[in-house]
Amino acid sequence: MTLPANVRGYFELLSGLAIGGNGAATMITSHEESRGRKRSRRQPLWPLYLVLFMLLLSAVVLAFVTGRYPVPPLIALRIFLYPVTGGEADWTATAETVVWEIRLPRIAGALLVGASLAAAGTTYQCIFRNPLVSPAILGASQGAAFGASLALLLRLSWSGVMGMAMASGILATSATALIGRHLGSGSMITLVLAGLVVAAVFNALVAVVQYIADPLDVLPSITFWLMGSLNRIGNDDLGIIGVPIALMLAQLYAFRWHINVLGADNDAARALGVNAALVSGVAIAGATVLTALAVSVSGIVGWVGLVVPHIARFLVGPNFDRLLPISALTGGLFLLAMDTLARSVATQELPLGVVTSLVGAPFFAIVLGRARRHWF
């Protein structure tokens, strides 16, 4: 929707020039003139939300009926509604287990992880005013992966894995931000390079963990989890990550306008009444915790946090207040679609991280090609 607005802007520019060659000489136009040109400021978003929700619903239905064990859509729906409606259960116990214990947590997990990564990527891009960054590029994912794999090595509990992932992710993001600031903020590439350095260090640390892990039980689980996968998520995990993810998304949403001000004009934000240090702290911490939560259940699922913010910005423009919810919805939809693809494209399931890379990387190349002239 950005595009039509911009195109209209160009037409108005042209018509404005055509109306009066001496238009530039008018210093202060009267109120009446500007009022005559006024139109409703922002296009309503409900049609877009409607489309996204319908796509989401179709993706969820598709995901429920896709898989090795066939469950017809109607049966899946009836199994799903059985606790509410009651009635006769004319399906196998296996079908019930598949719907409730396998597909439901996986679908909900895909939505939560996708929304978290996309929201985190959108926030990072806005706060750092850099369209090239994402949780993975800033090293937050690798940092969280190191913390989580260390916790797995030490056989810590679930909360230990998440806590370590968060602590290590925040450490990595802070390191990237500090190195980026030290190198100077003249170029967008600086922060990307700083993230590269930090990610390399944490990748090496993950390799150390893998090297000393027990090759019989801990190592395979770390390795498979690192590739990015949702197939270990159970209903109990959802409860554990669902609440903090909702809290973090709410926190980012509460600060959406001040984050937008920082994204639009970092330098003058304080002169606009924004507590820049507080807001960037809240935003970066929120995005990093979301990343760590996603990584602790799904490993490193790359590209979602880089590509989805660009799709969302294409749909609703750069203002963070509209971008955040659209980005989170699109991220959930994107990851659910990718996971369903990963489960169904071959006889054996592909790791989710591999699929998102295969789809996301070429997509980002196209995005870069289209937008290059504005960014570099």
Site of interaction with another protein (CB under 8 A)? 2, 5-6, 8-10, 12-13, 15-16, 23-29, 31, 33-35, 37-38, 41-42, 126, 129-131, 188, 254-258, 261, 263-265, 267-268, 270-275, 313, 317-319, 321, 374-375
Nearest approach, Cβ of 38 to another protein (angstroms)? 6
| Of 4 and 86, CB closest to another protein | 4
Cβ nearer to another protein, comparing 166 with 191: 191
* Residue 300 per-residue DSSP state: -
Structure tokens at 213: 């892990």
Give 25-86 as a 3 state SS string. HCCCCCHHHHHHCCCCCCCCCHHHHHHHHHHHHHHHHHHHHCCCCCCCHHHHHHHHHHHHHC
H/E segment holding residue 94 = helix 93-97
Q: How far is the CB of 125 from another protein (least distance, A)?
A: 8
Q: How far is the CB of 221 from another protein (least distance, A)?
A: 40
Rank residues 12 and 217 by Cβ distance to another protein and give the closer one.
Answer: 12
Report in angstroms the alpha-carbon separations of 365 from 306, 340, 362, 370.
11, 24, 5, 9
Cβ at position 79, least distance to another protein in Å: 40
The nearest distance, CB 274 to another protein, in angstroms, is: 6
Q: Which is nearer to another protein, 87 or 273 (CB)?
A: 273
Q: Which helix (H) or strand (E) holds 330?
A: helix 320-344
To the nearest 10 degrees (0 to 180), the angle between helices 235-254 and 256-264 is 60
Residue 29 or 58: the one with the smaller Cβ distance to another protein is: 29
The conformational region for residue 224 under phi > 0 = left, psi -120 to 50 = alpha, else beta, is alpha
